[in-house]
């Protein structure tokens, strides 16, 4: 996958190590997303938000701790997994405490053809949409990687950049590489103005999916597509 996206040869080994570690955390990511969705269906929207904020803070703090202590790429990936695991377990404990009726019993694990049909109707367009988003991101990443190491590193850290402001924070994350800092800041400065549109798209798409109109929600435009 990294070779397809034209990842520079000198970054292939650390990037693949990072991906292998991050993939190990997929079950925790799924746990958080699933439990968060269940809680929101009961009208509990604050707790998933608190868990997300805690996840971000824990991830950031552990990133700094691991980097300072020489953890490198593996340490950064491990911090993401640890943060996801803590948030997922927290939501699981809270779900069992506040919404015990949402925790399935062993006898309820049975095949339901009608429920499967409803699930496929709602989920299939969303799955296709997310697949298109993923492929779009790979294509964009391929172009970014073709611009060299400075541009590719800037792209990988753009999510962290959105949490803070200024070139000083970028310097703490990236180091003294002025080219990377300038690229990262320029990217953030342009993309920032379009995030309200992105929020509108996700919000309206969620409303349409919630009322069962998944076709329109599934074909809506995504910035990475």
What are 181-190's pLDDT values in tens digits?
A: 677 677 676 7
Measured CA distances, 202 to 30, 159, 196, 199, 221 (Å): 19, 17, 10, 5, 10
Measured CA distances, 219 to 117, 127, 140, 213, 225 (Å): 20, 11, 19, 11, 11
Q: How far apart are CA 142 and CA 136, in angstroms?
A: 10
Measured CA distances, 156 to 17, 64, 143, 197 (Å): 15, 16, 13, 22
The helix/strand/coil state of 103 is coil
Chain length of the chain: 225
**pLDDT tens-digit map of 147-172:** 555 555 544 454 444 555 556 666 66
Give residue limits of the domains in the chain.
Answer: 1-110, 112-225
- State the Rg of the chain over Cα: 20
Confidence of residue 224 (pLDDT cuts 50, 70, 90): very low
| pTM over cut 0.75 | no
pLDDT, average across residues 99-104: 86
């Amino acid at each position: 996958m990294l070779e397809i996206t034209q990842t520079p040869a000198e970054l292939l080994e650390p990037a693949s190590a990072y991906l292998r570690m991050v993939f190990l955390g997929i079950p925790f990511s799924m746990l958080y997303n699933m439990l968060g969705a269940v809680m929101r269906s009961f009208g509990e929207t604050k707790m998933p938000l608190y868990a997300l904020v805690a996840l971000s803070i824990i991830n950031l703090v552990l990133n700094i701790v691991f980097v300072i202590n020489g953890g490198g790429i593996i340490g950064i990936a491990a911090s993401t997994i640890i943060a996801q695991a803590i948030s997922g377990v927290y939501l699981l404990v809270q779900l069992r405490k506040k919404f015990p009726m949402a925790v399935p019993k062993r006898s309820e694990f049975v095949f339901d053809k009608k429920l499967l049909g409803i699930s496929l109707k709602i989920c299939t367009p969303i799955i296709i949409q997310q697949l298109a988003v993923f492929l779009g991101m790979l294509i964009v990443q391929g172009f970014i990687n073709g611009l060299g190491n400075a541009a590719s590193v800037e792209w990988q850290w753009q999510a962290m950049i959105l949490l803070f402001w200024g070139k000083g924070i970028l310097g703490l994350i990236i180091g003294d590489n002025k080219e990377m800092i300038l690229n990262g800041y320029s990217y953030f400065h342009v993309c920032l103005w379009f995030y309200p549109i992105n929020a509108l798209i996700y919000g309206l798409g969620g409303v349409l999916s919630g009322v069962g109109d998944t076709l329109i929600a599934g074909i809506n435009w995504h910035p990475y597509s």
